[in-house]
Structure formats: structure tokens, C-alpha cells
């Protein structure tokens, strides 16, 4: 049933025959994985600074314009929106956020639970800054990878942030701001800051300032009926490795727009965003960010702290996750940064991140390439998808080298 939607740059292949064999191998690997039901439908797209060099879509009714829930790939877009406001002097990276968002004025740190199971909280030692939030060093966590936060949600009835209910923002810190890197709901707070300063909802702000200028007409929080008809089906990986269909949709009457993870998009739309970053903030005739801003976003903003493995507490949602096990990794605004060359070809200093449903992207400013691979599958950090991602990446570098 697999098919390839070759809106791929045939012109690029024709102009440069050297592109074809390595990318043909990518085609073959993706097609075989879908045919064998190793992964559900999958789309991969890559570009260099001249344009799209590869596009492949495999699976029943899957195309490069299929709709995917991109989860935490939302974060890079929220980061870009935030940095637009930093450019305008409306936000500052080191400003304490309590003045803008009163709920962050007196943050509390969870120290544990008393004999009755009630949480023990103490005042944080320092204020939360915008930079803390952009770099996951503020102290907030996700319950998926945090046992204390899982317990806190259980005993207090605090909803998981993915429910898009404002009560999620009652979550305490798990450590003092600036003390370490731990992945969490920080970018949802950044979304709140963007809304507070712009006096617009994220849905409207993103559309006006990022999506419309870049031609991203199929990206948003609120999905239309016609878009819903193009949604790629969601699956879960069962214990025996098989794929089981599951129903999924992000809340469509949310109490807040989740800057950390609620967007849907298409692979082609997201590539427009990535190409904007590859072209130093300008793409499709639109200047979304200044070149110096993009340069700042690519830098390490956590100093001597390091990105660590996400250790799962909820194996139905995520496996243990680390994009580069054993490698020192840093964090930009808002990306993982590999400090050494990657095994599949990417340069040191490249940017990357991913979404919970096994969507991934990377951007290599040195070799001037960027790519994304999307499927819809839980749990996160699926081994089979990661293997395909590596084949896609290495094939691309072999083709464009």
C-alpha cells in the first residue's frame, strides 16, 4: 500500500545525478519500513540552501501535505515568536518573569512529600528569568520524565499540561532556577509571556507573525474540518512490536494555547519554518527574524550545564530519550545542540529537537542542510523510527556532500 509522493525536487536530481543513489536508498528504507509495518506512514523532507533536495511520503493516503500533531516541535516556533519580541525590546532574556506573569513572582520548589503524602514546598532561591524558561533551566518538569511531578499531579489533581487546562500552571519547581537542565513546561510559560506582551492569543500571533509570512497555511492549534480529513493516523507500539491504531486529537477548546506542544502542521509547512532558520531568518520573501537573532538562538545558553537523558516514568508515552547518548549536549533558544559531529553526518553545533509522537528535525548551519521526518506513533523515541531517521540523515549527507 505504500506510495511515494514525489513532489521531490526531481529537477535537483536531474541536474545533479550524484544526488540520486543515496536518496534512492532513503526511499527504499522508508518504503520497506512502511510495507513491513515496522513504522506507520512516514514523511521525510530535506533542504539545502538552494531548496528542497528530498521529499518522500509513504503509507496509505500519506503525503507531504498530511497533517501531523508535531507536539514539542512547537517549541522552536514559540522560541522564534519570543525572539521577535526580544528584537523589538518588548522582552529581555534576563528579565525576571514575575513582573510580567504574576504567577511566577514567588516560585516554590517541591522538596518532597510529608507522611500524609502532601507536598512540601519552599520558596525558590532566585527569580525565574526568560532565559531560564527558554532553556529548560527554570525548574519546571514534565511528569512523563519526572517521578516527583507525577506524584505531585496524583496527590493534588493537577492536570497534565497536554490537557491544555490552566490548572497545569500550578505546578511547582523541582529545583532552583539555573541549577540544572531538566525538560519541562517552560515553553508554555514563554507562550503566556508572548501573549501578555503582544496582547494576542498564540493562535493569532503565530498566524500573523510567522505562519502567514512563511506560507504555513496548514499549521495551527485549531484544526478545520478539511484539515482534519488529512490527519495522519496515530498508532501505539505494542509490547510485541506491532502497531495498534489509536484515536488522538489535541484539545480543540483549550483553556490556553500550549506553546510547548499543541501545534499541528504538515512536513512541507514545517520545512518552510526550518528553511527560514537556515536562511538566517528570511524565507519566502519574509524577514521573520534578524540574522543576528538567529545566531543568538544557535548559541549555548546553559553554560556548564548539560542536556541529560529523559528517563521515562510513563513508558506508554515515552521510552528513555537522548538524541546523542554519551555526547555532551547544550541547549540554545530553543534547541538541542550536539557539541561533536553526529554519527549520521551532521556537524558539531547543529540544532535539533523532536515531538512526542515521533516527529524529528535537525538544522546544520555549517553544512547548510535541514530536514524533518514525521510519523505518528507512541511511545516517543521509538527505536525503529530513530533507525530510519539515521538512514535518512546519512543518505542526505551522502547526496549533498
Q: Are 352 and 323 in contact (CB under 8 A)?
A: yes
Contact 379, 316 (CB under 8 A): yes
C-alpha cell at 243: 502497531
Question: E strand or H helix at 198, and its extent?
Answer: helix 186-198
Contact 392, 383 (CB under 8 A): no
CA 319/CA 365 separation, integer angstroms: 29
Dump strand ranges (E) for 289-400.
Answer: 329-331, 336-338, 351-355, 359-364, 369-374, 377-378
75 is catalytic: yes
Enclosing H/E stretch for 394: helix 383-400
Within 8 A by CB and 6+ apart from 212, the residues are none
Q: DSSP secondary structure string, 154-172?
A: HHH-PPPGGG--GGGGGPP
- C-alpha grid cell, residue 202: 498564540
Cβ atoms 181, 75 nearer than 8 A: no
Catalytic pick from 54, 66, 72, 334? 72
Which of 384, 249, 267, 245 shows the shortest CA–CA distance to 319? 384
Grid coordinates given for 154: 496524583
Q: Check if 3 is active-site.
A: no
Categorise residue 326: left if φ over 0, alpha if ψ from -120 to 50, beta otherwise: left
- CA gap 379, 24 in Å, rounded: 29
Short-list 341, 330, 388, CA closest to 367? 341
Element of type H or E holding 44:
strand 42-48
Cell numbers for 246: 489509536
Q: Is 46 exposed, middle or buried (0-12, 13-18, 19+ CB in 10 A)?
A: buried
- Which is it for the CA torsion 70, 89, 102, 256, positive or negative? negative
Selected catalytic residue, list 54, 142, 152, 183: 183
Opening angle at CA 345, ends 39 and 310, nearest 5:
55
347 an active-site residue? no
Residue of 54, 66, 75, 360 marked catalytic: 75
Active site residues per annotation: 72, 75, 183
Amino acid at each position: 500500500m505504500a506510495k511515494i509522493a514525489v513532489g521531490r525536487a526531481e529537477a535537483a536530481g536531474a541536474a545533479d545525478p550524484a544526488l540520486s543513489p543515496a536518496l534512492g536508498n532513503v526511499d527504499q528504507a522508508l518504503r520497506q519500513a512502511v510495507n513491513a509495518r515496522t513504522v506507520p506512514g512516514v514523511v521525510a523532507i530535506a533542504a539545502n540552501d538552494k531548496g528542497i533536495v528530498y521529499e518522500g511520503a509513504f503509507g496509505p493516503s500519506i503525503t507531504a501535505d498530511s497533517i501531523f500533531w508535531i507536539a514539542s516541535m512547537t517549541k522552536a516556533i514559540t522560541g522564534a515568536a519570543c525572539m521577535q519580541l526580544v528584537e523589538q525590546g518588548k522582552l529581555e532574556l534576563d528579565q525576571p518573569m514575575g513582573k510580567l506573569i504574576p504567577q511566577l513572582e514567588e516560585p516554590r520548589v517541591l522538596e518532597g512529600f510529608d507522611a500524609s503524602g502532601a507536598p512540601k514546598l519552599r520558596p525558590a532561591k532566585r527569580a525565574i528569568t526568560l532565559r531560564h524558561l527558554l532553556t529548560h533551566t527554570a525548574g519546571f518538569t514534565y511528569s512523563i520524565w519526572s517521578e516527583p511531578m507525577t506524584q505531585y499531579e496524583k496527590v493534588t489533581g493537577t492536570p497534565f499540561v497536554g490537557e491544555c487546562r490552566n490548572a497545569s500552571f500550578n505546578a511547582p519547581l523541582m529545583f532552583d532556577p539555573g541549577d540544572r537542565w531538566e525538560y519541562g513546561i517552560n515553553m508554555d510559560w514563554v507562550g503566556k509571556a508572548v501573549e501578555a506582551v503582544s496582547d494576542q492569543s498564540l493562535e493569532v500571533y503565530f498566524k500573523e507573525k510567522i505562519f502567514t509570512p512563511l506560507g504555513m497555511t496548514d499549521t495551527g492549534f485549531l484544526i478545520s474540518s478539511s484539515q482534519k480529513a488529512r490527519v495522519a493516523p496515530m498508532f501505539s507500539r505494542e509490547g510485541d512490536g506491532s502497531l495498534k491504531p489509536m484515536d488522538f486529537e489535541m484539545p480543540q477548546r483549550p483553556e490556553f494555547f500550549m506553546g510547548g506542544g499543541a501545534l499541528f502542521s504538515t512536513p512541507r509547512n514545517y520545512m518552510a519554518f526550518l528553511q527560514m532558520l537556515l536562511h538566517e531568518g528570511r524565507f519566502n520573501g519574509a524577514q521573520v527574524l534578524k540574522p543576528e537573532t538567529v545566531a543568538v538562538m544557535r548559541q549555548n545558553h546553559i553554560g556548564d550545564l548539560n542536556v541529560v537523558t529523559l528517563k521515562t516514568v510513563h513508558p506508554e508515552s515515552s521510552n528513555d530519550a537522548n538524541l546523542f547518548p554519551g555526547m555532551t549536549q547544550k541547549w540554545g533558544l530553543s534547541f538541542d545542540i550536539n557539541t561533536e559531529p553526529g554519527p549520521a553526518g551532521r556537524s558539531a553545533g547543529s540544532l535539533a529537537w523532536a515531538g512526542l509522537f515521533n516527529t524529528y528535525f535537525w538544522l546544520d548551519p555549517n553544512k547548510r542542510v535541514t530536514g524533518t521526518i514525521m510519523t505518528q506513533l507512541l511511545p516517543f523515541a521509538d527505536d525503529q523510527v530513530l533507525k530510519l531517521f539515521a538512514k535518512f540523515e546519512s543518505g542526505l549527507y551522502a547526496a549533498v556532500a
